[in-house]
Amino acid sequence: MPLAADYEWRSSEPIRSMGWRTIYADEHEPASLSQPSSDRHLLRMHSKEQISHDDYQKTADWLMSRTKHRPQVSIICGSGLGMLADSLDRQDQFSYSEIPGFPQSTVQGHAGRLVFGELKGKSCVCMQGRFHMYEGHSLLKTTFPIRVFKLMGVQTLIVTNAAGSVADHLHPGDIMIIKDHINFPGLVGLNPLHGPNDERFGPRFPAMSGCYSRELRSLAHEISKQLDIAGLVQEGVYAMVGGPNFETIAEARMLHRLGVDAVGMSTVPEVVVATHCGLQVFGLSLITNKVVKSYEDSDCVNHDGVLEVGRLRSQTVQRLEEAESLRQRRTESSGPSVSLREFPVVLWYDGRAAAL
């Protein structure tokens, strides 16, 4: 078996250490190296690709030249939750395929559209479909829209996702406000901030200890009580795994012992980049299934079931009334109902509109 030292590497980017020397990635590294080709591709994909500030700016300029909306909040819709965008008026829609630099969403339940619109005169932009590592996208591509939104003037990012419940007290149909996360890909070196840092977006070493806005989390609890849905809403810790397979029982038990409340395959890279950019972040997980933690349990998770829970939740809870009526009725004992698709938008509108 040839040794790594027998080859000349042409790249100056270190990828990993094998103890005696550093291995460097290059487009022409020998196929005979005892590293699976898929592994080499993954390492190259997450280490060599660079997207310049000009690339982000070109996409932002392209969008701003085609819509009059100047969004202050962006919303990323998780699996089965693309109907969030239906709450917006005066919509401008763009397919991801026509937006320069945007990757394509390939997952069922993700429409692959960027929707600009207004909620009571306040400008928003919704992503109907996000991008995942397991689709083959690099983390720079997965998080590409976040920096574009930053350049468009967005100040707040709202992320939603479908997640499996690890905690015993969370059940399908519940809404979990994300108070913190565990970034498993990041812990093994897959981070969207890898590579040269652009100070125009943020610092080299951003803190993540307060990436989910305490103010917005508190406001969400207040609104959920006033809307009489407090029984559905709890806070918790979200863990991101790479996917696309669901967790084994042993993995689920490990997550439970680590204090994880819900687990999914997205969201965290977007939050990391948004925090790096100085955006205020609020996150919601719709609990779509219980993660299997017992070898005696015969349940089996599948993506169709995840989408079905999202559909049923959006139909079960009634649509919001007009915002003015909502404010007035909150002083009454029986508050109005709110649908999952509108809850994040109204949270932002109710808490932010007066200050904008």
Give the active site residues. Answer: 79, 110, 132, 134-135, 162, 265-266, 289, 303
Q: Are 329 and 228 in contact (CB under 8 A)?
A: no
In single-letter form, the type of residue at position 184 comes to: F
Q: Measured between alpha carbons, how far is residue 264 from residues 6, 273, 306, 329 in Å?
A: 42, 18, 11, 36
How far, in Å, CA of 314 to CA of 238, rounded?
22
DSSP alpha helices (H): ranges in 34-143? 37-47, 53-64, 139-142
- Quote the DSSP letter at residue 171: -
Tokens coding 352: 């932010």
Q: What is the DSSP string of 280-334?
A: EEEEEEEEEEEPP--TT------HHHHHHHHHHHHHHSPPP--HHHHHHHTTSSS
The helix-helix angle for 53-64 and 144-152 (nearest 10°) equals 60
Site of tokens 């995840």: 306
Q: State which H helix or E strand residue 264 sits in.
A: strand 262-264
Q: Are 79 and 310 in contact (CB under 8 A)?
A: yes
Q: Are 221 and 233 in contact (CB under 8 A)?
A: yes
Torsion sign over Cα 246, 77, 186, 235 = negative
Q: What torsion, rounded to 10 degrees, do the Cα atoms 73, 74, 78, 83 define?
A: 80
How far, in Å, CA of 122 to CA of 109, rounded?
27
**All residues at 6 or more sequence positions from 227 whose CB lies less than 8 Å from its CB, including other chains:** 330, 335, 336, 337, 338
